[in-house]
Amino acid sequence: MRTFVGFGFGPIQAGLFLAEAQESGNFRRLVVAEVQADVVTAVRRNGTCLVNIGHEDRIESRTISPLEMLNPAVEADRDKLIAAVAEAQEMATALPSIATYQAGGDTSVAAILAMGLRQKAAMGGPNAIVYTAENHTVAAEHLLAAILEFVPVAERPAVLARVQVLDTVIGKMSGVPSESDDLPPLAPGLSRSYLVEAFSRIYISRVLRPGMAGAAGLDPSWATFERGIQVFIEKDELQPFAEAKLYGHNAGHALAGYLARAIGLTRIDQLRKRPDVIDFVRNAMVIESGRALIAQYGGVDPIFTPAGFAGYAGDLVRRMVNPNVRDTVARVCRDPERKIDWDDRLVGAMRLAIKAGVEPRRYALGVAAALQMMGISYIRQPAYLRERWSASGALAAEQEQLLPLIIAAGERLRSWRQAGFPELV
């Protein structure tokens, strides 16, 4: 029986990692590090938490127990957390961003992991993998580098022999719904509820074994290592799946959100009454994202075929408008500045499409709707985008390929609104 340790206690940690660890039946201890004192107190009181799972036909409430909640800001808890890392076989970080790995110095996630892994190496503890769920393509590389900063140089080989840090591609929708009065709370005494969709097709980096490329320095015992959370899917190369998520799933989701907001909707599932908009989003994913991704990654996986990507997009759209996930337009549309950045979902998908010889007019409408939400006037939009994109190193020639499409989309958006939002094609 194994020990699982999680850092951060948001919906993904609770509704994915902890839920799957419990479901596997392979873990004796479930330990989580969290700094919010009210959450720590509420979960400790009963030794459990509760997450709500949105299926197509119902919302299921699932209790995760027994659950040990530790606050790394408290010295006694921090010592227990370090000891738990030393005995753990699987761990997961589910934090706001990779920038938080070293936040707090000696009480940071990286420092605690380093101290626990040093103990593991010294005592001959079990090998461990760490899943990174910070929605960054090389989060594992950043976390490992942050950990090693807290490990003396002489001890690093022993630590590296015992741990592997893995990247993840998590296409699971989750959140803290505003409409939660009818949902059981995370724990008695708390007002918030977690709601995640019933989806567990999560891609992770491959766990290395002796003799595999990149496995130099691993302890020989890795030859028999088995993951306790077995539902995750290992891949030799995650980049194709990360791009499919960012420029397929995330781009389509953002497009749906900004169009829903333009119409005046408040929840994504309300688009079920607008099949024309759903078809528009699906076509953006299949034609503008799909053709580009297939051109780049055809042969890597069945998803990167016309039939495979059509199925992928159809499944995603069906999940996006699931009323039992209660996804809000406000959540999907938040941070529009980032979502129209040069390498992010909407503009990134447009660039991929142009590279593949496809005109991304649908995603251009999403960018136009995001700019409208930000209050950027039609006259100011070209200058605003040029300045923002140039700061990311975008070449002027490539920018000029996108701007006419976005300007035209802005005109189309204005006409669509003036006409009362007729059927979108």
91/227 Cα distance (integer angstroms): 11
* Dihedral sign of CA atoms 224, 227, 233, 235 in order: negative
Q: Mean pLDDT in the chain?
A: 96
Q: For 317-325, what is the mean pLDDT?
A: 96
What is the pTM for the complete model shown? Answer: 0.93
Contact 369, 336 (CB under 8 A): no
* Dihedral sign of CA atoms 299, 301, 307, 310 in order: negative
pLDDT on residue 1? 82
Contact 21, 66 (CB under 8 A): no
State pLDDT tens for residues 146-189: 999 999 999 999 999 999 999 999 999 998 987 778 899 999 99
pLDDT band, residue 304 (cuts 50/70/90): very high
Tokens 């899917």 correspond to 233
pLDDT on residue 196? 96
DSSP string for 221-269: GGGG---SSTTSEEES--HHHHHHIIIIIIHHHHHHHHHHHHHT-SBGG
State pLDDT tens for residues 86-129: 999 999 999 999 999 999 999 999 999 999 999 999 999 999 99
Nearest 5°: phi and psi at 77?
-65, -40
116/106 Cα distance (integer angstroms): 13
State pLDDT tens for residues 193-204: 999 999 989 999
Q: Is the peptide bond before 66 cis (omega within 30 degrees of 0)?
A: yes
DSSP three-state, residue 55: coil
pLDDT on residue 178? 79
Contact 29, 68 (CB under 8 A): yes
Q: For 283-301, what is the mean pLDDT?
A: 97
Nearest 5°: phi and psi at 386?
-60, -45
Q: For 56-69, what is the mean pLDDT?
A: 96
* Dihedral sign of CA atoms 315, 321, 324, 330 in order: positive
145/161 Cα distance (integer angstroms): 15
In the chain, the domains with their CATH numbers are 2-235 (3.40.50.720), 239-418 (1.10.1040.10)
DSSP three-state, residue 344: coil
238/167 Cα distance (integer angstroms): 8
Tokens of 50: 């509760």
With a pLDDT cut of 70, the percent of the chain lying above it is 100
β-pair partners for 50: 63
pLDDT on residue 88? 98
DSSP state of 178: S
Please, what's the b/e burial string for 13-41 (b: 16 or more CB within 10 A of its CB; e: otherwise)? bbbbbbbbbbebebbebbbbbbbeeebbe
pLDDT on residue 181? 80
State pLDDT tens for residues 324-361: 999 999 999 999 999 999 999 999 999 999 999 999 99
Say yes or no to pLDDT of 31 above 80.
Answer: yes
